[in-house]
């Protein structure tokens, strides 16, 4: 702990824990400094660097750009590989694990070691990896890098430790899974085909062992050649040469026939005993035309041939549709007897897999489900019902249903908000799903002890809003809101929509939510704001609309004066706030000049509309076109339910709206907000302006006035905002956008508008893109009736502070260092039936800065963070207590004051990928981790912090990555994650019967170790492949999963093995005793027989 003491005369004393710097606001980066304060402050800081550690927790959403699919039929877990080298492993809801290959190479093939707790991945860099799934954080145990050949196919027989690997050259190699070493046994392509063949058969596209005999390997080559290779005899049993290219092969479980899919859309059925030609050729979607010829069809990329005891076999394939129907959607075809069902998909099919009751390939398969991996979705079809319904997906695979444009993260929400949102959202869920249990039910997951209500809100390009329950590292959609329903549908080529360049006029830019009052506010890209109230009752409502003309008359260009004498600031306390009388034109009125430019971008529904329970629109605010140009996008927003006010700003100015009285109470350009205290000299519009001299920032404290005109070239919040979304009009030049001073952040709260104030009053803190901080006092009637009738008076006080870079965040602490929450109104349902005994009145909750101090008030601390700096001011004196230069070479993208370990800190995410935390109020650096380089503006747009040491961002267009920077959460992470591996007995194979076993060959007598081991096959060439030990350790496969379940499983397995060994030992001991008794008996008989013989009689 450190104790900071400041005295009136400006002297500073050193605390035992460290030295506080001199009172200068221009300190070097990483050095917090102190300034003299009017009073003594005693803050006990409890956070240290030991409280922080950064790590990833979970990833939600659909794997971006999927490439491969695998399923463990015993463990019942599913794996999906992606183009970026990621692997998602899914089990029962709550069991969701993400693994990432360090190389980032695309995952081409996935192969589970069935019921072994391991997974083999083959990547595009021709490397095989063995992952250990017996731990909550899977790790690579071994890697094998092929140097001279490219991997095209992998096959691992059930209960085998030898992996078959097919290559682009047509060769087949064999890898020992335990040691991950290449066997010397190789099936060369030129040995597999006949010597007389003049052409190369192409890459290996299929490998499988015969269901009748594991010693026979079926090899499919792309060019149309199929070879059955006798592994013992090292020769081909038969060779098939077909005219059409092969894409896949599938066996009948008896091994008497197999089916191939081809590039011409045909399926061929072959008998291994007669391979001269297929005994059946079908074109499932190729109709016979009038001239007698077949329709040309697309390739059938994969076919699965599965048998069933109670019905005809299932033949399931992807592709094969005719070319003649343009624009036809991708489809999966299910052939069951004479019935053919075509399931059209919304996206191209990447891979599909049929799930069967048995893991043995020589038993009746009994298919029950087909998993279809699409480019942007995961579909699971129930095969046990004739209508083939799909399962309702328990995973949040539809985050990207419309592209995510913004996110918000709320931890430790009111406990009643999640159930009520879920109950409202459940009424609008789709129906018609399969009633059976979700088939991917592997792994174990329990609700951890460190859980609390969490909600994630995502805004989307189509104007929709989704509320997600994010508690306990899971994600489940609660409620969906469509903001586009407030507006009339834009008609193509008419009105303002014809001039709009936006493809998505309803796209959500930002959201503001008060969980306590359930007030929700949405900012859209068409310069509109929608305010929603929550109700459990449906209602007929007329949407109220306000139109605001927000435009600055002069260009906000900053230039230094000619004599380099920069303006000083007058005493702020001498200015009393006066109500500003510049009111916008009322929504219904129009002026003659520029009347054609007064309309908003979208048209609000004017008729009475019936709204269902949930969030119901209460007010729509729209900015108007001005001088033929569309309104600038809104860059900041804050709403306070206790005050009944909403504030927003853009690069032109600031507006404040009373949403209770539905009136605009303030509409000002940024320049007018300063009044006489404007620190910049602004020029009117001129074509000859020098941008290099106007990009400066001003920094000010009570002791010095200096202007730093050498600001490094980091973009302002306004320019970054425009880089996140397209410009709304080509007529707005980049120079115009850069030179305007935008309102970048707003915060309502109880504060002191002037230095002379004794008690806190409602205030609005305003931050701009040029580092300026302004305070606007508010006069709000306290009585309920007066509040609904009398006007709220508002006017700038002229109080100004300066920081380097755009202002990003405000927060308020009391003088003990505790965070002061914004006041709020307790939620009340305006549509509920009237109760005469309990009239509906506003119930307000205030958190006054003086609540923990003496009755006369004792001020509070204001934390201000910009792109470059953080400062702590003491209010009402406005003295700068601490300052910290966060970064010199980069700029902060997102900052927030958050609660961690029963204390508060300032968390920052920089454009160079650093995540930092600073203590409050001293701004000591506590953590600085180079976590994530800013490779995509999507990350900057969606990164957000929340309480409890958590944060999230959109790691891809379809996935949300959650991280923690709390050491406590990192320590408890293993407990909160699900177990992928569960000890399960492998199902026994069915009895084959005497005759079937006698005539079925010696499949079970096949010993791969004798053929592929080093003793028989020798060593493979070292130059062919390189073994790389994994970070999981060689012994990692022998480790059971962490946690109590894993410990019990390991103990149970160890006891079983010990008991088995003891039983074997007991049997051997009994045999030895019997043998000893027999030996003793024979020895005694021999002794009696030879007892009386002389030595010469022998």
Which residues lie across from 132 on neighbouring strands? 118, 139
Tell me the average pLDDT across 84-103: 94
**pLDDT in the model for residue 1032:** 65
Report residue 941 as tokens.
């747009």
Residue ending a domain, among 911, 937, 971, is 971
User: Domain tally for the chain?
Assistant: 2
- Other C-beta atoms lying within 10 Å of the C-beta of residue 1098: 6
Domain end (from 346, 379, 397):
397
Tokens of 203: 């890459």
In a domain, 465, yes or no: no
Q: Answer yes or no: is 383 within a domain.
A: yes
Indicate whether 940 belongs to any domain. Answer: yes
- Tell me: pLDDT of 545 over 90: yes
pLDDT at 1059: 60
β-strands 663-669, 681-683: how paired? Answer: unpaired
Q: Has residue 130 been placed in a domain?
A: no
- Please compute the mean of the pLDDT values over residues 335-344 and round it to a whole number: 93
Domain stop point among 939, 971, 1003: 971
Per-residue pLDDT of 25-78, as tens digits, reads: 433 344 454 444 444 577 889 999 999 999 999 999 999 999 999 999 999 999
Q: What is the DSSP letter of 568?
A: P
Question: Containing domain of residue 297, as a range?
Answer: 270-354+361-397
Tell me, yes or no, whether 445 lies in a domain.
Answer: no
Percent pLDDT > 90 in the chain is 57
- Of 128, 234, 106, the closest CA to residue 181 belongs to 128
Q: Which two tokens stand for residue 513?
A: 């939510």
Q: Where are the beta strands (DSSP E) in 256-348?
A: 258-262, 267-270, 280-282, 300-306, 314-319, 331-336, 339-344
Report helix, strand and coil shares of the chain as percent, to nearest 5. Answer: 15, 40, 50
SS (H, E, C) 767-832: EECCCEEEEEEEECCCCHHHHHHCCCEECCCCCEEECCCCEEEEEEECCCCCECCCCEECCCCCCC
Reduced to 3 states, what is the DSSP secondary structure of residue 334? Answer: strand
Among residues 794, 827, 534, 491, the alpha carbon closest in space to that of 672 is found at: 794
pLDDT tier at 422, thresholds 50, 70, 90: very high
d(CA 393, CA 438): 8
Residue 382 lies in a domain: yes
pLDDT over 80 (residue 914): yes
Lay out the sheet containing 367-374: strands in order across.
349-356, 367-374, 378-382
Distances (CA, A) of 497 to 464, 506, 650, 773, 929: 19, 12, 22, 37, 46
Q: Please report whether residue 278 resides in a domain.
A: yes
Q: Give the contacts of 437 (CB within 8 A, at least 6 positions apart).
A: none
User: Rg of the chain's alpha carbons, rounded to an integer?
Assistant: 37
For residue 836, being part of any structural domain is answered with no
User: In the structure, what pLDDT confidence band is assigned to residue 304 with cuts at 50, 70 and 90?
Assistant: very high
* Inter-residue contact 699 to 25 (CB < 8 Å): yes
Side-by-side strand order, sheet with 944-946: 52-61, 959-966, 950-956, 944-946
Q: DSSP characters for 984-1031?
A: -PPPPPPP--HHHHHHS-SGGG--HHHHHSHHHH-BPPTTTEEEEE-T
Tell which wins on pLDDT, 746 or 40.
746
Q: Which of 682 and 221 is assigned the larger pLDDT?
A: 221
For residue 565, pLDDT beyond 50: no
pLDDT in tens, 971-998: 888 888 889 999 999 998 886 554 455 4
Q: 630 or 20, which is more confident?
A: 630
101, 121 contact by CB (below 8 A)? yes
pLDDT tens track for 189-198: 989 888 777 7
Total Cβ atoms within 10 A of residue 92: 19
What is the per-residue pLDDT for 188?
93
User: What confidence tier does 1077 reach under pLDDT thresholds 50, 70, 90?
Assistant: confident
**What's the mean pLDDT when you consider all of the chain?**
81
Enclosing H/E stretch for 1052:
helix 1043-1089
449: pLDDT confidence band, cut at 50, 70 and 90?
low
Is residue 372 scored above 70 in pLDDT?
yes
Taking the C-alpha atoms of residue 530 and residue 483, their distance in angstroms, rounded to an integer, is 8
In this prediction, residue 359 carries a pLDDT of 94
pLDDT for residue 627: 81
- List pLDDT tens digits, range 437-448: 999 999 998 876
Q: Which of 293-302, 503-512, 551-560 has the lowest mean pLDDT?
A: 551-560
3-class DSSP state of 49: helix
pLDDT of residue 194: 84
Residue 195 vs residue 594, higher pLDDT = 195
């Amino acid at each position: 702990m450190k104790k900071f003491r400041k005295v009136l005369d400006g002297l500073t004393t050193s605390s035992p824990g460290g030295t506080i710097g001199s009172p200068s606001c221009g300190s070097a980066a990483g050095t917090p400094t102190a300034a003299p304060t009017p009073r003594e402050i005693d803050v006990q800081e409890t956070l240290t660097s030991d409280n922080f550690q950064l790590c990833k927790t979970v990833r939600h959403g659909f794997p971006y750009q999927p490439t491969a699919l695998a399923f463990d039929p015993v463990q019942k877990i599913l794996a999906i590989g992606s183009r970026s080298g990621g692997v998602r492993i899914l089990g029962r809801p709550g069991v969701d694990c993400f693994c990432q290959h360090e190389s980032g190479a695309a995952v081409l093939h996935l192969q589970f070691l069935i019921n072994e707790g391991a997974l083999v991945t083959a990547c595009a860099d021709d490397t095989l990896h063995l992952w250990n799934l017996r731990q909550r954080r899977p790790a690579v145990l071994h890697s094998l890098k092929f140097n001279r050949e490219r991997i095209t196919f992998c096959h691992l027989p059930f209960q085998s430790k030898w992996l078959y690997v097919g290559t682009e050259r047509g060769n087949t190699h064999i890898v020992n899974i335990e040691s991950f070493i290449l066997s010397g046994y190789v099936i060369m392509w030129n040995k597999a085909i006949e010597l007389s063949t003049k052409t190369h058969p192409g890459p290996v596209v299929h490998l499988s062992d015969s269901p009748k005999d594991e010693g026979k390997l079926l090899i499919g080559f792309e060019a149309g050649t199929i070879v059955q290779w006798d592994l013992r005899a090292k020769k081909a049993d038969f060779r098939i040469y077909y005219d059409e290219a092969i894409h896949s092969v599938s066996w009948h479980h008896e091994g008497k026939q197999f089916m191939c899919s081809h590039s011409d859309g045909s399926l061929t059925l072959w008998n291994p005993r007669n391979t001269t030609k297929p005994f059946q050729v079908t074109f499932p979607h190729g109709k016979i035309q009038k001239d007698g010829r077949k329709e040309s069809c697309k390739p059938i990329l994969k076919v699965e041939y599965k048998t069933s005891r109670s019905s005809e076999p299932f033949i399931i394939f992807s592709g094969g549709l005719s070319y003649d129907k343009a624009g036809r959607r991708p489809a999966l075809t299910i052939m069951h007897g004479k019935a053919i069902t075509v399931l059209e998909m919304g996206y191209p099919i990447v891979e599909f897999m049929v799930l069967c009751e048995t893991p043995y390939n020589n038993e009746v398969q009994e298919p029950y489900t087909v998993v279809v991996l699409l480019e942007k979705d995961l579909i699971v079809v129930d095969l046990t019902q004739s209508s083939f319904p799909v399962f309702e997906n328990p995973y949040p695979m539809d985050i990207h249903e419309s592209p995510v444009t913004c996110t918000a993260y709320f931890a430790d929400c009111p406990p009643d908000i999640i159930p009520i949102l879920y109950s409202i959202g459940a009424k609008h869920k789709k129906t018609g799903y399969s009633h059976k249990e979700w088939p991917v039910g592997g792994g174990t997951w329990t609700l951890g002890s460190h859980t609390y209500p969490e909600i994630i809100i995502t805004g989307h390009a189509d104007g929709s809003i989704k509320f997600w329950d994010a508690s306990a590292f899971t994600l489940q959609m609660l409620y969906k809101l469509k903001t586009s329903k407030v507006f009339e549908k834009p008609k193509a080529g008419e009105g303002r929509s014809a001039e709009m360049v936006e493809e998505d006029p309803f796209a959500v830019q930002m959201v503001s939510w008060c969980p306590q009052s359930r007030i929700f506010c949405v900012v859209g890209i068409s310069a509109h704001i929608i305010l929603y109230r929550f109700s459990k009752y449906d209602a007929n409502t007329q949407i109220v609309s306000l139109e605001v003309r927000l435009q600055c008359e002069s260009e906000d260009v900053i230039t230094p004066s000619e004599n380099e004498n920069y303006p000083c600031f007058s005493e702020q306390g001498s200015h009393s706030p006066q109500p500003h009388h510049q009111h916008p034109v009322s929504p219904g009125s129009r002026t003659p000049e520029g009347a054609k430019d007064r309309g908003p971008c979208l048209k609000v529904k004017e008729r009475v509309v019936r709204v269902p329970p949930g969030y119901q629109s209460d007010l729509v605010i729209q900015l108007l076109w001005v001088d033929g140009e569309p309104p600038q996008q809104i860059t900041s927003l804050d709403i306070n339910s206790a005050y009944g006010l909403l504030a927003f700003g853009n690069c032109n100015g600031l507006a404040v709206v009373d949403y209770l009285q539905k009136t605009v109470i303030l509409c000002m350009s940024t320049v007018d907000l300063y009044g006489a205290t404007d620190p910049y000299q602004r020029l009117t519009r001129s074509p000859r302006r020098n941008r290099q001299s106007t990009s400066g920032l001003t920094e000010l404290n009570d002791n010095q006035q200096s202007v730093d005109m050498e600001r490094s070239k980091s973009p302002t919040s306004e320019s970054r905002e425009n880089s996140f979304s397209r410009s709304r009009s080509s007529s707005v030049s980049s120079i115009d956008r850069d030179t305007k001073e935008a309102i970048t952040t707003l915060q309502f709260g109880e504060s002191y508008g002037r230095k002379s104030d004794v008690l806190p009053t409602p205030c609005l803190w305003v931050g701009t893109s040029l580092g300026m901080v302004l305070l606007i006092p508010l006069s709000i009637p306290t009585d309920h009736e007066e509040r609904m009738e009398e006007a709220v008076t508002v006017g700038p006080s002229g109080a100004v502070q300066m920081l380097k870079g755009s202002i990003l965040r405000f927060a308020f602490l009391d003088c003990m260092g505790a965070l002061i929450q914004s006041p709020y109104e307790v939620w009340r349902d305006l549509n509920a039936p009237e109760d005469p005994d309990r009239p509906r009145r506003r119930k307000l909750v205030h958190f006054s800065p003086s609540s923990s101090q003496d009755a006369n008030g004792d001020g509070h601390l204001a934390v201000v963070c910009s792109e470059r700096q953080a400062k702590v001011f003491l209010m009402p004196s406005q003295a700068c207590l601490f300052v910290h230069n966060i970064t010199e070479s980069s700029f902060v993208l997102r900052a927030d004051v958050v609660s961690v370990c029963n204390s508060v800190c300032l968390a920052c995410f920089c454009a160079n990928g650093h995540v930092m935390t600073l203590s409050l109020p001293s701004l000591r650096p506590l953590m600085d981790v180079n976590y994530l380089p800013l490779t995509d503006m999507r990350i900057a747009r969606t990164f957000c912090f929340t309480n409890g040491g958590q944060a999230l961002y959109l790691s891809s267009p379809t996935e949300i990555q959650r991280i923690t920077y709390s050491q406590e959460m990192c320590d408890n992470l293993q407990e909160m994650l699900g177990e992928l591996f569960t000890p399960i007995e492998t199902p026994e194979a069915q009895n084959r019967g005497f005759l079937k076993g006698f005539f079925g060959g010696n499949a079970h007598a096949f010993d791969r170790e004798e053929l592929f081991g080093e003793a028989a096959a020798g060593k493979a060439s070292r130059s062919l492949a390189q073994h790389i030990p994994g970070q999981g350790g060689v012994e990692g496969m022998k480790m059971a999963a962490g946690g109590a379940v894993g410990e019990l499983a390991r103990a149970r397995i160890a006891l079983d093995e010990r008991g088995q060994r003891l039983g074997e030992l007991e049997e051997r001991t009994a045999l030895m005793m019997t043998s000893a008794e027999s030996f003793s008996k024979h020895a005694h008989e021999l002794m009696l027989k030879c007892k009386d013989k002389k030595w010469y009689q022998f």
